[in-house]
Structure 1
Amino acid sequence: MLPLQLGVSLDPQQYVPQLVSAATAVLLFIVVFAVIYLLGKSVMTRAVEEGLRRRGFDETIIGLAVSTTVVVTAVVAVALAATVAGFGVVLAAFATLAGALALAVGFAAQDLIANFVAGVFIIQDEPFTVGDWIEWDGNSGVVREIQLRVTKLDTFDNELVTVPNSDLANAAVVNNVANDQRRVSVGFGIGYDDDIGQARDAIVDEGSQIEGVLDDPEPTAPVTELGDSAVVLSGRIWIDPNTSSYGAVRAKFVEAVKERFDAEGIDMPYPNTELSGGLEVTNIDGAAGATSD
């Protein structure tokens, strides 16, 4: 009522130019964004995918790189479209908000980012792959799945262990099945009076008869220690860890040698301590009278 009371008339036509200008700017933003995004996505993703595949990168990393390229292309398309459409204020606010958000996320997700980066290096460098038996920091297991954040392993007790990738990337990881040959070493102690040659022949013979043991390198049994109660021979046989189980072969080796030693009368002494000296017993006053009854 106030404009009418003051004699001011409302003319809808005066808002038409502003509305047309706003609509034009929005339409221009949409068109520019669509063109840049679709063109950039088509060109950049193809270039990234072909470049990484040509260099032999893992498919998981290629997929991640392609997804990241799509997101970056969308952000660039928004920025360029806003600039062309004249949304400078909106673009500045968007940049400020994005920077603050990225800083906050970076501080809050340091461990997540570290695991993510470690996962990329593990997948690319392949210190181990699915199915490998690995050991790290006193732990061991068979790799079930390698993800970008964690690696899942099965223990020999059939327990599932989920390990952050940063732990594996920063630890000394032993891959027990990485090579085509692996040595199985078992120490066998014999008595000092037993024949070393006889014991060595028994160990070598039994080791060579176990299924999965390689002929080259051939089994050996050198003397490695003169212990307190035994002469120790190290029985050494070689297997292909990709076709033979280390634990199963070792168990068969120990059992076969023990039975052979028993059959040939070769002693396998256990640690013992010999005491020498004298023992003096002194009666305490009153003890004899107390026990005479």
Structure 2
Amino acid sequence: MVPLQLGLDLGQYVAPIISAITTIVIFVFVFVVLFVVGRLVVTSAVEKSLRRRGFDETIVGLAESATIGVVAVLSVALAATIAGFGVVLAAFATLAGALALAVGFAAQDLIANFVAGVFILQDEPFTTGDWIEWDGNSGVVREIELRVTKLDTFDNELVTVPNSDLANAAVVNNVANDERRVSVGFGIGYDDDIEQAREAIIDEASNIEAAFDDPAPSAPVVSLGDSAVVLSGRLWIDPREHGYKPVRAEFLEAVKERFDAEGIDMPYPNTELSGDIEVRNVDGAVGDD
């Protein structure tokens, strides 16, 4: 009787064990098939689609990684459903939803910078090596990452800017175009010859190696100041071949030396006072000048 009873007791556990093993095998098999097929098909389709539309390689790599993650999650869900893990799947979905909500609140800034980085890489308002200005700041782009952009200032300082700041600001790209105008205001005295000054400015601009012949340099009168007639010396350069600030400094110095050589005055602002001055002595006597 004892062996028979023992056999009956073991029989009670055999069926559940076999059922559990079968369920696990089905789950693993379905998951592997779905994941492998999905990874090969879906990832390849996403990659080809993005490359055909000319997306940046960083975005393509990110999309591939995200696609693999999505395929893995869907494969787990479908395999669990087919294998009969309904209760486990429901608990997993609830936990995943709560976790996603918590992460979303905790990482709002991170997500905003990440999304902004994707748009910057795709829209390309600037690229590595560009000189940009934003919100009163400026620098040369060293590296564009998905969360931040790194720039070098003209004092050789490294600046790390969150991408959301650049995405939401008016960014000036100083080297985006093949031509850029260099403008410098030169003030001359009211008694000086405007044509002589204009000729000197244009001549010195033409002698600068970086200056284009077309558009040609010019020097129109732009304002009549309190103490000077202001001419705007203008020349055009290729900002990717020649630095804007070095060319501007060279232009400014050349015209100053030319004005000095030709005796053209560059007056500085001055104020003339008129009227009477009353002088009162300590003893109360008053005198007029």
SS at match of 2:280: coil
The answer to whether 1:34 aligns with 2:69 is no
**Quick one: which of 199, 202, 205 aligns to 2:203?**
205
Counterpart of 1:136 in structure 2 is 134
SS at match of 1:11: helix
Larger deviation, residues 271-280 vs 111-120? 271-280
Counterpart of 2:10 in structure 1 is 12
Question: Distance between the aligned counterparts of 1:205 and 1:155, measured in 2?
Answer: 33
SS at match of 2:208: coil
Question: Distance between the aligned counterparts of 1:254 and 1:165, measured in 2?
Answer: 36
| Structure 1 residue 276: Cα displacement | 1.3
Q: Supply the AA of the counterpart residue of 1:254.
A: L
Q: Supply the AA of the counterpart residue of 2:9.
A: D
| Structure 1 residue 29: Cα displacement | 0.5
Counterpart of 1:111 in structure 2 is 109
Aligned pairs for 1:54-73 (under 5 A) are: 54-73=52-71
Aligned pairs for 1:136-285 (under 5 A) are: 136-285=134-283
Question: Distance between the aligned counterparts of 1:120 and 1:286, measured in 2?
Answer: 79
| Structure 1 residue 126: Cα displacement | 0.5
* C-alpha distance after superposition, 1:120-168 (max 9, x if no partner): 1110010100000000010000000001111110000000111111111
Question: Distance between the aligned counterparts of 1:216 and 1:238, measured in 2?
Answer: 8
| Structure 1 residue 284: Cα displacement | 3.4
Q: Supply the AA of the counterpart residue of 2:207.
A: Q
Percent identity among equivalent residues? 77
Structure 1 stretches (4+) deviating beyond 3 angstroms?
7-10
The answer to whether 1:77 aligns with 2:71 is no
SS at match of 1:284: coil
- Return 5+ residue gaps in structure 2 as ranges: none
SS at match of 1:56: coil
Residues 52 and 283 of structure 1, relative CA distance in 2, 3 Å threshold: closer
SS at match of 2:264: coil
* C-alpha distance after superposition, 1:103-126 (max 9, x if no partner): 111111111111111111110010
Question: Distance between the aligned counterparts of 1:148 and 1:280, measured in 2?
Answer: 70
SS at match of 1:142: strand
| Structure 1 residue 58: Cα displacement | 1.0
Residues 280 and 286 of structure 1, relative CA distance in 2, 3 Å threshold: closer
Q: Supply the AA of the counterpart residue of 2:99.
A: L
* C-alpha distance after superposition, 1:152-208 (max 9, x if no partner): 100000001111111111111000000000000000000111110100000000011
| Structure 1 residue 285: Cα displacement | 2.5
SS at match of 1:281: strand
Question: Distance between the aligned counterparts of 2:130 and 2:281, measured in 1?
Answer: 69
Question: Distance between the aligned counterparts of 2:240 and 2:281, measured in 1?
Answer: 71
SS at match of 1:163: strand
SS at match of 2:204: helix
- Return 5+ residue gaps in structure 1 as ranges: 288-293
Alignment length (residue pairs):
282
Q: Supply the AA of the counterpart residue of 2:130.
A: D
**Quick one: which of 118, 121, 130 aligns to 1:120?**
118
Question: Distance between the aligned counterparts of 1:191 and 1:283, measured in 2?
Answer: 41
- Aligned Cα root-mean-square deviation (Å): 1.7
TM-score by length of 1: 0.93
| Structure 1 residue 11: Cα displacement | 1.8
Question: Distance between the aligned counterparts of 2:177 and 2:282, measured in 1?
Answer: 71
TM-score by length of 2: 0.95
Question: Distance between the aligned counterparts of 2:53 and 2:9, measured in 1?
Answer: 67
Counterpart of 1:291 in structure 2 is none
